[in-house]
Amino acid sequence: MSFRYQPLDRFPTGILHINLYFGRNLTTKDVPRPAELVVGKADPYVVINYNGRDAPRSKVCSDQGSSPEWNQHFYFPIREGEAPTLDKISSRSESRSRRSSGVFGALNSPQTILEPDTLEINVFDKNNFRHDYDMGRVRVPHLPKVISSTPNWYLEKQPFPVFQEVKGDSVSAGELWMEIGFQVVDESEFQNGWNSEPSLDGKMYEFKPRISSQDSLPQVEERDNGLDDKRRIKELIRENSRQSQTVEGLHSQLNVSKEEIATLELKLKKAVDQISGLDAQNKKLDQIVARLEREISTLSSPGFWQVLCCCFGSSRRPQDKREETAPLLGVTPNKPGGPPRPPTAASKPGPSLGTSKQG
161 vs 200 pLDDT, higher one? 161
Lowest pLDDT segment from 56-65, 160-169, 256-265? 256-265
Residue 176 contacts by C-beta under 8 Å, 6 or more apart in sequence? Answer: 20, 21, 22, 23, 46, 121, 123, 138, 159, 160, 162
- DSSP string covering 138-189: EEESSHHHHHHTSTTSEEEEEEEEEEEEETTEEEEEEEEEEEEEEEE--GGG
Asked whether the predicted pLDDT for residue 120 surpasses 70, the reply is: yes
Alpha carbons 21 and 160: distance in angstroms, whole number: 11
Cα–Cα–Cα angle for 319, 324, 330, nearest 5°?
135
Q: What is the CATH code for 14-227?
A: 2.60.40.150
Residue 28 contacts by C-beta under 8 Å, 6 or more apart in sequence? Answer: 42, 125, 133, 135, 164, 173
CA 246 to chain centre: 6
Helix axes 229-300, 302-311, angle to 10 degrees: 50
pLDDT in tens, 265-292: 889 888 888 898 888 888 889 899 988 8
49: confidence class by pLDDT, cuts 50, 70, 90: very high
Q: Rounding to the nearest 10 degrees, give the CA dihedral for residues 329, 331, 334, 337.
A: -70
202 vs 164 pLDDT, higher one? 164
pTM here is 0.52
Is 63:193 a contact under the CB 8 Å cutoff?
no
Please give the pLDDT value at position 355: 46
Sign of the CA dihedral with 312 first, then 315, 319, and 323 last: negative
Average pLDDT (124-132) is 86
Listed in order, the ranges of the chain carrying CATH 2.60.40.150 are 14-227
Average pLDDT (307-315) is 66
Alpha carbons 184 and 3: distance in angstroms, whole number: 10
Lowest pLDDT segment from 62-71, 92-101, 107-116, 330-339? 92-101
DSSP type of residue 115: P
CA 93 to chain centre: 49
Please give the pLDDT value at position 330: 55
Average pLDDT (88-105) is 45
Residue 246 contacts by C-beta under 8 Å, 6 or more apart in sequence? Answer: none
Please give the pLDDT value at position 345: 53
- The chain-wide mean pLDDT, for the chain, equals 74
Is 10:144 a contact under the CB 8 Å cutoff?
yes
233 vs 216 pLDDT, higher one? 233
